[in-house]
Structure 1
Amino acid sequence: MLHKPKKIFLVDDDPFCLNLMKHVMITNGFADVHTYEGGAACLNFLTDEPDIIFLDQVMGSVSGIETLKAVKRFNPDIYVVFVSGQHEVAVAVESLKYGAFDYIVKDEKLSTKVSSVLTKIKDMGELLAQKPTSVPKRLRSFFGSVSLGLLLVPMMLLSC
């Protein structure tokens, strides 16, 4: 599905959901799938450099939001997708506010929703790959004039 093999972490304290999610990943062609029963366990293995983390909202000692914040501090480029039984919009908004890529509610359509998010991540990766890496000329000229202005202001203050 995605061009290069992706490393996926699945984090959920419910063994049934964890196994279901793992099955969905394997069905979608992902082989490098790691499962963790809590946020702390996931955080201990961030140095393994996952590309995508599917994260439960409500877990034991380390909540999904706390885990998300730590993941984003470690590497803001990791796609984090919340998978939760919480139907409240405020919970979804909070997760997106802290950098989650998407929020999925656990229900009978979970497999379809996960496949859809994986497609969105693939599309996002393709868009980012097309993005030019050089800084646009307008931006360079803006920052050039800003830095020139920063040099002139102290000199003007000294002459007063």
Structure 2
Amino acid sequence: MALVKSRLKIFLVDDDPFCRNMYLQHLENLGYKDITCFENGADCLAHLFLKPDVIFLDHSMGTLPGLTVLKKIKLFDPDIHVVFLSGSANIITAVKALKSGAIEYIVKGINEFENMTKVLSRIAEIKAS
């Protein structure tokens, strides 16, 4: 699993610098090294050529909503694992995200670090098999 962890390329997309830095620190503490941060969906989309394995994607971001970005990511490469992050426990948004291809929907402020760790373990298992 450590080998997979060191090889995972992660994008972190959140317009809130506090959240972005907090999640970055958590991922680094877990031992992930190849992490690229973006403050908006457009910048993330412009860098998909870097072929990330995992994208943590905020729901509410400026002019390009997370759901729109998610759909464009999946059009570019359906094998990218997208984890949706939201400050809202809105079931309708969660269902839309999962139906659009997100592997997980994590609500900010409700065990998000534990949930991020769990989903990364799941993705590492998928990548290792």
TM-score (structure 2 length as normaliser)? 0.93
> Which residue among 39, 42, 50 is the counterpart of 2:41?
39
Equivalent position SS for 2:3 = coil
Post-superposition shift, 1:108? Answer: 5.1
Q: Give the Cα separation in 1 of the matches to 2:83 and 2:62.
A: 18
**Residues 24 and 114, structure 1, Cα contact 8 Å, conserved in 2:** no
1:96 corresponds in structure 2 to 98
User: What do residues 15-61 of structure 1 show as CA deviations (whole Å, max 9, x unaligned)?
Assistant: 01100110111111110100000100100100011110000001011
Q: Look at both structures and tell me which one has the larger radius of gyration over its CA atoms.
A: 1
Q: Number of residue pairs matched?
A: 127
Structure 2: which 5+ residue stretches go unaligned?
none
1:63 is aligned to 2:65: yes
Structure 1 runs of 4+ off > 2 angstroms?
Answer: 1-4, 123-126
**Residues 2 and 122, structure 1, Cα contact 8 Å, conserved in 2:** no
Identity of aligned pairs, percent? 43
1:13 is aligned to 2:15: yes
1:121 corresponds in structure 2 to 123
Equivalent position SS for 2:123 = helix
Post-superposition shift, 1:69? Answer: 0.5
Greater RCO, 1 or 2 (C-alpha within 8 Å, sep 6+) = 2
Q: Give the Cα separation in 1 of the matches to 2:110 and 2:25.
A: 15
User: What do residues 66-102 of structure 1 show as CA deviations (whole Å, max 9, x unaligned)?
Assistant: 1001100000000000011011111100000000000
Structure 1: which 5+ residue stretches go unaligned?
130-160
The one-letter code sitting in structure 1 at the alignment partner of 2:52 is P
Give the aligned CA root-mean-square deviation in angstroms.
1.2
Q: Give the Cα separation in 2 of the matches to 1:63 and 1:77.
A: 21
The one-letter code sitting in structure 2 at the alignment partner of 1:90 is I
Q: Give the Cα separation in 1 of the matches to 2:55 and 2:13.
A: 7
